Amino acid sequence: MSGRKAQRNGTGVSPPDDSSVHPSGKSPEQLRKDRIWLWTWFPAILLTTSMIWVGPLIVGITDKSYQVTIDCTVTDAVGERPAGSTRSSSPHDRVIIQTAECGKLLLKQGINESNRDAVAAELVEGKRFSFEVGGASLKLQWAKMAPPVWSYEKIG
């Protein structure tokens, strides 16, 4: 015991050796468990945070440079301002387009309070349109992402 005399505390047990106790008061076993917890959960938390914050940013940047054209039959188009947007010329005005073949599409480019309903009315239910959309978001529709529409044109 590192040159000290064992002291008895009335229970017949010697106090712990200084080499087996960390300054935090934790045993080596507890310190090992803490490190395992840290190295297991920290990467998981970092990955989740990246997916929530960085992922959509990367998808948005990719959508601007990678666009594809799809032909779809419109089933509904509604102009709206999302809850929480209060300014009269909010950049958040949009037209939500539902299609039979392509799912939900989102038109925000050039949309404002004064034209959103007129643009939605142009997208006649049952008619086919050609939409230029963000390619990355289109591939991620399974994750409930609505691809942004950059332009559209009526077919026929």
pTM of the model as a whole: 0.66
Mean pLDDT to the nearest integer, 66-78: 96
CATH number of 67-154: 2.40.50
CA 148 to CA 97: how far, in whole Å? 10
Burial class (CB in 10 A: 0-12, 13-18, 19+), 136: buried
List the beta bridge partners of residue 134.
67
pLDDT one-digit tens code per residue, 23-51: 677 788 888 888 888 788 888 888 888 88
Q: pLDDT tens-digit profile of 93-131?
A: 999 999 999 999 999 999 999 999 999 999 999 999 999
pLDDT at 21: 58
Distance CA 14, CA 21 (A): 14
For the CA atoms of 111, 114, 120, 123, what is the dihedral angle to 10 degrees? -80
E strand or H helix that includes residue 90: none
